[in-house]
Amino acid sequence: MDHQFTRRTVTLIGMLALIESTAGGQSLRSPAANVLSPVPAKKNNVVTVVAHDFAFDVPASIPSGLTTFRLVNKGKWAHHLTVMRLGAGKTAADGLAALIKAGQGVRPAWLHAVGGPNAIDAGGQAEATVNLPPGNYLAFCEVPGPDPAPHFMKGMVKGFTVTPPDRIGTLPNADFNLRMTEYDYVFSRPLTRGHHVIAVTNAGKQKHMLVITRLAPGKSNKEFLDWAYDPKGKHEPGWAASGVTEIEPGATAVMEGNFAPGKYSLVCFSPDVGDGKPHFMHGMQKEIVVK
């Protein structure tokens, strides 16, 4: 694996708990459920995806339409769920090969970013509601391991089919809206403690993602970004608190959960179509305080 590919996997997903404590083998991280505890969806198709070290339990076939992916992390490491729709005639093997070939650069246009629940710690759960048109899809985890190979290189990747007809549904009602643009995150109002349903819309012209990290006491967004770009075997200065994996321009994904008081980091690690740099290097990063 070349240096550029390794750097992309660290930079793109830098929000995870990757290293366990050497003190008695106990993790230094709090369970993700203590940070963002999803509430089950009641109306949409719900697909529970169980994450292991290193595999996904993903159904081989899912009906089309609005779907809530519920990610349950039963592994020892942090995991997330990236979902991409494959272009016509492309297979899951083609998708995996494209991920590897793209390395640090922009991925081919036939990999359509659908979204999914972003990273959660061991023992946690997260949810994201997205629309699934019929077609072939690829589900994978890009979280880098301590080696630091991304988890899909360890087998955490799986193809699945979304079956017709193309059903029309309605996204869950949200009490917060978050717009992603080039290069900013804009909340409809300041985020407060407690349970919230957040509609995340990509109002930009490029693919974007929302990485939410609850910062550890005394830590700043800059320290998180420094860690994300080059962990150097150290612990993340916070706790993975989900978010939404990469979505296409014009798309909306809905996440929900409970936010504890504290400082949070919002970061986009998608590569820029102009220079290939992660979007946080263009200013798409923000530190907020939940009271």
CATH number of the domain enclosing 91 = 2.60.40.420
* DSSP strand pairing (252-259 vs 125-132): antiparallel
- Asked if the model's pLDDT at residue 191 lies above 80, the reply is yes
Could you say which DSSP state residue 270 is in? P
Residue spans of beta strands (DSSP E) within the chain: 45-52, 55-57, 61-63, 65-73, 82-86, 111-113, 125-132, 135-140, 157-163, 176-181, 184-187, 194-202, 208-215, 238-247, 252-259, 262-267, 285-290
- pTM value is 0.82
The gap from C-alpha 241 to its chain's centroid, in whole angstroms, comes to 10
Contact indicator for 244, 254 with CB cutoff of 8 Å = no
Residue 254 lies in domain: 3-290
**Residue 167: which residues within 8 A CB-CB, separation 6 or more?**
63, 64, 65, 66
Cα–Cα–Cα angle for 172, 176, 182, nearest 5°?
105
Residue type, 191: L
Share of the chain above pLDDT 90, in %: 60
Cα dihedral: 17, 20, 26, 29 (round 10): -20
Higher pLDDT, 31 or 175: 175
Q: Which two tokens stand for residue 185?
A: 């995150």
Distance of CA 217 to the CA centre of its chain: 23
Percent of the chain with pLDDT over 70: 82
pLDDT digits (tens, 9 = 90+) for 211-268: 999 999 999 988 988 887 776 767 778 888 899 999 999 999 999 878 999 999 999 9
Q: What's the rounded mean pLDDT across residues 190-208? A: 96
Give the residue-averaged pLDDT of 20-38. 36
How much is the mean pLDDT over the chain? 83
Domain count, the chain: 1
Decide if pLDDT at 8 tops 90: no
